[in-house]
């Protein structure tokens, strides 16, 4: 017969040798009060019927299945198989992230290799929890819902963060809270591989300029600082986004994470080691820029390093890493800790003999439950794409231009892909995936305005108006891009103002805005939210409207002409009807 006892978790003690699938009334009364235990018993009976678990498997005197019976090959294979299913469901996000790693975030592959090795090494430790953590479903639901919304809005960086939240919630739920600190560290490793770290680029640029301003003052070299430009008598240096030091920071942190996996430090020691390598990585970039300015000063800007200094920066970074390695001995001496049990052979031997309680069988049900919950977002996104589009044609509404302007030329162009240019054609915004691209030239007695209108039908969910990678121009030629408001009668119209460098003597002044559905805005966040609603309702196509003209000085006069053109036209009949 079966008897019940209470403790930290309800358990059943088996006192007979009858088959495990023969559940008596006494056993039913025992487990009915504990859903987790009931799930465990039912799951084990299911495995018996599938002939995965032998009905004659020996039972210990504590009512638990020995490790060699509970840790079956089929059960072990279910965990990586379900994880693979989750990654395949988010295939679009994983593919985009892999492409970014291959293109410019190469440390991402190193971090994936590090996490994979750490998980394999600590697999026994991670699987030692007796019960899943069911509240993790809330985290999975929140993550997959956020991914669904960001997918419709076309915010790729937030899609990737949401996917990381889904994976972390899935791991916490399936593996339990027994080693949650370890899972959080592994998630931190993966977080470093995300492109979202690009948001600190501007801050790092300003820090680099400020540090060099101080260093140049110390050595007595006169320099004028204007934004991200450092001007000395011999020439001017720009601390561009690629010179912010973000690549050195992420590379240094990757080395720091690898160091943490090879040593045993206390929590304080781990954070100290990361702080040291992070600071030294940024310091290497500051020294690099400082030395380049000095070399430009000494050589009158004639050194080859003025145009090619990539290898120069990595040499300095390597020296900084050597300095970090020399400091690690002091950190280890003061903050050393004993190795986690999973890294010792004694623990492996002990775990091999440790019985797996009947609660472990509940993990099989948890794996299925958390996997299904994790893929709800991609399923919902797929279903939304199956809803037919609004039958409205992808037409371009006529501009109601002022009377003094007349049309010079109208041409249909092949939509450009980001980074591509077509020789012999007028300038156009670098927006990928448009279904139509129309360019119109309007002239008055004094000026000529180019109007570019790009239509996105929404038939392909991968091609959105507001999507990562869609830019007005490449960052090397985009001199300014900001939101402005212009008075238009009784309302303030939201637009964006940009300046693009065409050549050494010519720029292009630009005003542009987005039209999603029947509403217009110059604020990207607002446009993305409207894009989500338009995707859910499958409403009218979205459109990018760009009004531009050539300028050669500060472009102020050209912007005044563009504003007159926009206010006089109202943008389009649809824009004028609803702001």
- Domains of the chain, by residue range, sit at 2-63, 73-198+344-384, 200-335, 406-577
d(CA 428, CA 472): 8
> Which residues, in sequence order, are CB contacts of 108 under 8 Å at separation 6+?
97, 98, 100, 101, 193
What whole-number distance in Å separates Cα of residue 166 and Cα of residue 372?
12
Kind plus residue range of the DSSP H or E element containing 533 = helix 524-537
What pLDDT band is residue 63 in, cutting at 50, 70 and 90? very low
Is residue 572 over pLDDT 50? Answer: no
In whole angstroms, give the CA distance from residue 130 to residue 134.
13
Question: Do residues 369 and 149 touch, judged by C-beta distance below 8 A?
Answer: no
Which residues have CB under 8 Å from 38's CB, separation 6+?
31, 32
Radius of gyration of the chain (CA): 31
Residue 464: C-alpha distances to residues 146, 157, 332, 578 (Å): 18, 15, 50, 22
CA dihedral 456, 459, 461, 467 (to 10 degrees): 0
Taking only the tens place, the pLDDT of each residue in 161-182 is 999 999 999 999 988 887 888 8
561 versus 141: which is more confidently predicted?
141
Could you give the CA distance from residue 80 to residue 369 in angstroms, rounded to a whole number? Answer: 15
pTM score, two decimals? 0.68
| pLDDT above 50: residue 344 | no
pLDDT of 525: 72
Q: Which percentage of the chain shows pLDDT scores above 90?
A: 23
What are the pLDDT digits (tens) for 303-322? 888 888 888 989 999 999 99
> Which ranges of 359-484 would DSSP assign to H, the alpha helix?
362-374, 376-386
pLDDT digits (tens, 9 = 90+) for 183-230: 999 999 999 999 888 888 888 999 999 999 999 999 988 888 888 888
Please give the angle made by the CA atoms of 223, 227 and 230, to the nearest 5 degrees.
25
Give the model's pLDDT for residue 536. Answer: 64
Which of these ranges, 283-292, 413-422, 545-554, has the smallest mean pLDDT?
413-422
Confidence of residue 79 (pLDDT cuts 50, 70, 90): confident
Query: In the predicted model, what is the mean pLDDT of the chain?
Result: 75
């Amino acid at each position: 017969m079966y008897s019940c006892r209470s403790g930290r978790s309800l358990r059943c003690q088996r006192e007979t040798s009858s088959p495990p699938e023969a559940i008596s009334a006494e056993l039913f009364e025992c487990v009915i009060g504990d859903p987790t235990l009931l799930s465990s018993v039912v799951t084990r009976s299911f495995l018996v019927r599938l002939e995965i678990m032998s009905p004659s498997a020996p039972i210990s005197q504590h009512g638990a299945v020995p490790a060699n019976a509970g840790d079956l090959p089929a059960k072990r294979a279910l965990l990586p198989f379900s994880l693979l299913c989750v990654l395949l469901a988010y295939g679009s996000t994983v593919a985009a992230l892999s492409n970014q790693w291959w293109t410019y975030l190469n440390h991402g592959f190193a971090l994936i290799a590090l996490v994979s090795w750490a998980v394999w090494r600590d697999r026994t430790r991670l699987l030692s929890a007796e019960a899943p953590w069911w509240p993790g479903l809330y985290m999975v639901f929140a993550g997959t819902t956020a991914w669904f919304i960001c997918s419709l809005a076309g915010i790729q960086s937030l899609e990737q963060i949401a996917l990381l939240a889904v994976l972390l919630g899935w791991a916490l739920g399936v593996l339990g809270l027994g080693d949650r600190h370890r899972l959080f560290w592994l998630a931190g490793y993966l977080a470093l591989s995300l492109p979202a770290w690009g948001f600190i680029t501007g801050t790092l640029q300003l820090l680099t300029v400020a540090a060099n301003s101080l260093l140049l003052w110390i050595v007595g070299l006169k320099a004028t600082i204007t934004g991200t430009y450092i001007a000395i008598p011999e020439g001017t240096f720009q601390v561009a986004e690629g010179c912010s030091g973000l690549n050195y920071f992420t590379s240094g942190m990757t080395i720091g994470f690898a160091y943490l996996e090879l040593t045993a430090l206390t929590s304080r020691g781990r954070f100290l080691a990361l702080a040291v390598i992070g600071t030294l990585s940024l310091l290497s970039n500051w020294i690099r820029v400082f030395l380049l300015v000095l070399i430009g000063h000494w050589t009158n800007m004639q050194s080859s390093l003025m145009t090619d200094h990539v290898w120069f920066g990595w040499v300095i970074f390597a020296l900084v890493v050597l300095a970090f390695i020399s400091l690690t001995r002091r950190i280890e001496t003061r903050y050393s800790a004993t190795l986690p049990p999973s890294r010792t052979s004694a623990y492996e031997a002990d775990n091999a003999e440790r019985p797996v309680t009947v609660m472990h069988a509940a993990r099989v049900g948890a794996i299925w439950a958390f996997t299904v919950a994790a893929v709800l977002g991609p399923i919902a996104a797929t279903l939304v794409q199956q809803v037919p589009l609004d039958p409205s044609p992808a037409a371009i509404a006529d501009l109601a231009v002022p009377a003094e302007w007349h049309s010079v030329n109208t041409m249909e162009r092949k939509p450009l892909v980001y980074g591509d240019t077509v020789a012999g054609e007028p300038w156009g915004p670098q927006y990928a995936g448009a279904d139509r691209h129309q360019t119109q030239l309007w002239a008055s007695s004094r000026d000529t305005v180019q109007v570019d209108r790009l239509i996105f039908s929404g038939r392909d969910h991968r091609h959105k108006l507001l999507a990562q990678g869609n830019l007005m121009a490449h960052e090397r030629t985009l001199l300014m891009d900001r939101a402005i408001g212009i008075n238009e009668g009784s309302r303030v119209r939201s637009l964006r103002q940009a300046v693009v460098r065409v050549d050494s003597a010519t720029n292009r002044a630009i005003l542009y805005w987005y039209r999603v559905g029947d509403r217009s805005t110059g604020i990207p966040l607002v446009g993305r939210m409207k894009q989500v609603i338009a995707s859910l309702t499958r409403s009218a196509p979205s459109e990018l409207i760009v009004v531009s003209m050539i300028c050669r000085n500060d472009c102020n006069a050209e912007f005044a002409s563009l504003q007159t053109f926009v206010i006089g036209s109202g943008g389009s009949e649809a824009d004028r009807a609803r702001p």
